[in-house]
A and B are shown apart, each in its own frame.
Chain A
Amino acid sequence: MPSLDDLRKRITSVKSTQKITKAMKMVAAAKLRKAQENAEKGRPYSEKMNNVILNLSKSITDKENAPKLLVGTGEEKVHLCIVLTADRGLCGGFNTNIIKKAKSYFEKIISENKTLKIITVGSKGYDQLKRQYKSYIVENISFKESKNINYFDADKVGKIIIEKFENNEFDVCAIFYNKFKNVITQIPQEQQIVPLNEDKDDKDDSGNDNDYEFEPDEDEILSNLLPKNISTQIFKAMLENSASEQGSRMTAMDNATRNAGELVDRLTIEYNRSRQAAITKELIEIISGAESL
């Protein structure tokens, strides 16, 4: 049975933890709103980009000579996985969920005897993966220094991917990130970006083929556009990720604050009880002392 003093100390410490989690929750809520706004603002760009590529790839008739970024290298031996995580912890299951998704994909690749290469973006992902998959990690990128998510950073990652592709270092590339659904739900996503998977449900509303005029020709536009699309996809993933991170942190911190409150209540009851027990004990001692006289 802890002494009264111990209990009092514990109550104070739980209370100060509660203050911290509460503050973190409020910070996350403020950041979430901004991140969500950014994610929404960024959407038109990636949507338009998708549309243009869709229209372009429709008009490409010569599939054999189409850019490799679009149709792939024809092999599926080397898989490059980009795992996008947060740079900070204390955000509930956010990082763990992405890692879990990625790990199951890794296992599949390894069991099929294919080569696996990993690029981690964000330090938490690297921390969690380095123990098991250290030998597969080829690059570890972190944008801790940049305050906001900007396209420039995403472009850097995109350029690394393109460079590796041009050096024939991989055949298939997939990215892992959390898609922001709402504040409490984030869905870990796996998205293949090389070769480009045409979204089946993203069918163009106009059934009739648009006869576009291309300047210069389709191939040149595509080979110019596809690298940009990769950066755009990464950027989109980063935006979704940051909104998810804040949402996840907010929920996690909300829970922590509530749990701390419950703990304080329980400890206070225990404290009061043992204080009452001590008083009663003293009274009994006094009374029985007086009776014996």
Chain B
Amino acid sequence: MSNLFNIDIVNPEQSFLSKDNVFEVVIPAVEGEIGILKDHIPIISFLKPGIIRVFSESEEQSFYIEDGIVEFKDNTLSVLTSSIFDLKDADKKFVSESISSAEAELSKDDIDDQKRFLLNHKVEVLKSISIN
């Protein structure tokens, strides 16, 4: 019996990625990373900025994701996001701009703890990208 399932990543403009031969996906859910295998129970969660890793039979792909919703149901993982890019074609300039804009946001006084946590996390992840 195969242990593969489907993944659909869509952003508002288009369908970003659609595969039917993945065996594991690791998503940066808001309360920690979740690894999803076949026959996971139905789950809905939303994401924090981070790396989403898709393992298929032949390759491993990684994407940076800014926010989004995931739904897993009937062995189909749907990821809805407004901002995503493949780590392979990460744009250095875009990454550094995102870091500085997030840091600028952090230095404001009127943000609450939750937002500060998310922004800090975002900066961390982005920095780890730019090092690679």
| Residues of A in contact with B (beta carbons under 8 Å apart) | 38, 41-42, 44-46, 48-49, 51-52, 55-56, 150-151, 154-155, 210-216, 221, 224-225, 228, 232, 235
Q: Within 8 Å of chain A (Cβ to Cβ): is B99?
A: no
Are A213's CB and B43's CB within 8 A? yes
Q: Which of B8, B73, B80 counts the most chain A CB atoms within 10 A?
A: B80
Q: Is the CB of A52 within 8 A of B12?
A: no
Identify A212's interface contact among B10, B14, B44, CB under 8 A: B44
| Contacts of B68-88 to chain A: CB distance below 8 A | 69, 71, 73, 78, 80, 82
Q: Can you report 28 residue pairs joining A to B where beta carbons are below 8 Å apart?
A: A41-B13, A41-B14, A42-B13, A42-B14, A44-B15, A45-B12, A48-B71, A49-B80, A51-B71, A52-B69, A150-B13, A151-B11, A151-B12, A210-B42, A210-B73, A212-B42, A212-B44, A213-B41, A213-B44, A214-B43, A215-B34, A215-B45, A221-B44, A221-B45, A221-B46, A228-B69, A228-B82, A232-B12
Bound-complex Cα distance A150 to B11 (A): 11
- How big is the B interface, by class? 20 to 34
Interface residue ranges, B against A (CB under 8 Å): 8, 10-15, 29-31, 34, 41-46, 69, 71, 73, 78, 80, 82
Q: Is the interface of A mostly helix, strand, loop or mixed?
A: helix
Q: Which of A45, A55, A216 has the most chain B CB within a 10 Å cutoff?
A: A45
What is the interface of chain B mostly: helix, strand, loop, or mixed?
strand
Report the nearest B residue to A41, measured CB to CB.
Answer: B14
Question: What is the CA–CA distance of A91 and B46 in the complex, to the nearest angstrom?
Answer: 41
> A225 contacts which of B15, B34, B46, B78 (Cβ < 8 Å)?
B46
For the complex of A and B, the 8 pairs showing the least CB-CB separation, nearest first, are A41-B14, A151-B12, A215-B45, A213-B43, A45-B10, A212-B42, A44-B10, A45-B12
Whether the pair A225, B69 counts as a contact (CB closer than 8 A) is: yes
Option from A56, A150, A212 in Cβ contact (under 8 Å) with B43: A212
How many Å from the CB of B34 to the closest CB on chain A?
8
Taken together as a complex, chains A and B put the C-alpha atoms of A207 and B9 apart, in Å, by 26
Q: How far is B13's CA from A210's CA once the two chains are assembled, in angstroms?
A: 29
Chain B residues with CB under 8 A of A42: 12-14
